[in-house]
């Protein structure tokens, strides 16, 4: 009698386990079907908007996904996007992702050229997608706009690159303020004269986008080179009059090493692509002069 009861209980448990599994599989299939239908609707909407638009833009976007079969090999996909006044490269990418291919991957956040997350390689130049106007690109309506990930960086997926090495180089110069003395009063600020503030003002605008590092031929060939962004960050603190003398000396020791300022060949490529107009090459040259003065000895 007890054996029959156990067998019935086992059968009931098996049925209970099978039903949720089948239901879950069915739910996934239905969800996938809904997603495909929604994607078709978006593509149809995009085609109608492109047909009705007075002007359109053709963008050719780099694609690569090492985790999906059939997409491991790099390629370019072409999308047609309705053009509107004030459209940026980032706007075009978002439209392509939202209407044509939801798997299109790229970084973006603030859309105000502050976060630095959407640095791209557009028509052969490093730039911020949110700052670059389609209308400013030469022959934007008559030719294809080519959008690629930053060169000299490992591509993770599509337009997303691995920024870990860049961040390591930035951290290598110890980018934080370190004074010898602090004001006596708890709420008293650490004062800085206007001339010194003007001197370092531009260097403080760095948004860690990595465009300058990507444009630097020296950084491409020397993986240990600090790079223009990191050296600029060192400049920001070393030239601040509130920085402690011992701390400034330590910082100069970091940047005057073999893979520091002396690797720069003054090509100005970093300065040309900086989206915040920081005179990076000038800052590097000034640190070279500081390094020379630091090592001068008079007998």
**Segments making up each domain of the chain, as ranges:** 56-160, 163-295
Q: Where are the alpha helices (DSSP H) in 177-275?
A: 194-201, 211-215, 217-221, 228-238, 245-255, 269-273
* CA gap 218, 227 in Å, rounded: 8
The backbone torsions φ and ψ at residue 255, rounded to the nearest 5 degrees and listed phi first, read -80, -15
State residue 68's pLDDT score. 86
State residue 188's pLDDT score. 79
* CA gap 249, 70 in Å, rounded: 54
Domain 163-295 has CATH 3.60.20.10: no
Q: Give 56-160's CATH code, choosing from 3.30.360.10, 3.10.20.30, 3.40.50.150, 1.10.1740.10.
A: 3.10.20.30
Question: What is this structure's pTM?
Answer: 0.80
State residue 29's pLDDT score. 75
* CA gap 201, 185 in Å, rounded: 26
Q: Mean pLDDT in runs of 10 for the chain (299 residues)?
A: 51 54 73 70 68 84 91 93 94 95 95 95 96 85 88 96 96 86 78 93 97 96 95 95 88 91 94 97 95 72
């Amino acid at each position: 009698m007890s054996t029959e009861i156990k067998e019935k209980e086992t059968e009931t448990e098996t049925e209970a386990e099978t039903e949720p599994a089948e239901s879950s599989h069915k739910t996934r299939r239905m969800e996938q079907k809904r997603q495909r239908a929604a994607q078709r609707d978006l593509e149809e909407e995009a085609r109608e908007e492109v047909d009705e638009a007075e002007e359109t833009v053709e963008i050719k976007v780099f694609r690569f996904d090492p985790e999906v079969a059939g997409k491991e090999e790099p390629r370019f996909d072409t999308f047609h996007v309705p053009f509107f006044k004030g459209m940026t490269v980032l706007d075009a990418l978002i439209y392509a992702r939202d209407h044509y291919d939801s798997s299109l991957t790229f970084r973006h956040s603030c859309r105000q050229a502050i976060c630095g997350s959407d640095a791209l390689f557009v028509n052969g130049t490093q730039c911020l997608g949110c700052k670059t106007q389609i209308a400013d690109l030469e022959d934007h309506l008559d030719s294809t706009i080519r959008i690629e990930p930053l060169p000299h960086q490992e591509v993770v997926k599509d337009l997303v690159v691995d920024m870990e090495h860049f961040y390591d180089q930035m951290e290598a110069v110890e980018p934080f303020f370190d004074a010898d003395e602090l004001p006596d009063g708890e709420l008293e600020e650490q004062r800085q004269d206007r001339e010194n503030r003007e001197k370092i003002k531009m260097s403080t605008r760095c948004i860690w986008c990595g465009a300058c590092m990507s444009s630097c031929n020296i950084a491409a060939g020397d993986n240990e080179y600090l790079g223009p962004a990191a050296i600029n960050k060192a400049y920001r603190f070393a030239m601040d009059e509130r920085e402690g003398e011992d701390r400034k000396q330590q910082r100069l020791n970091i940047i005057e090493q073999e893979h520091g300022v002396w690797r720069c060949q003054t090509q100005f490529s970093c300065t040309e692509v900086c989206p915040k107009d920081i005179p990076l090459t000038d800052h590097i040259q000034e640190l070279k002069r500081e390094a020379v003065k630091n090592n001068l000895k008079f007998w």
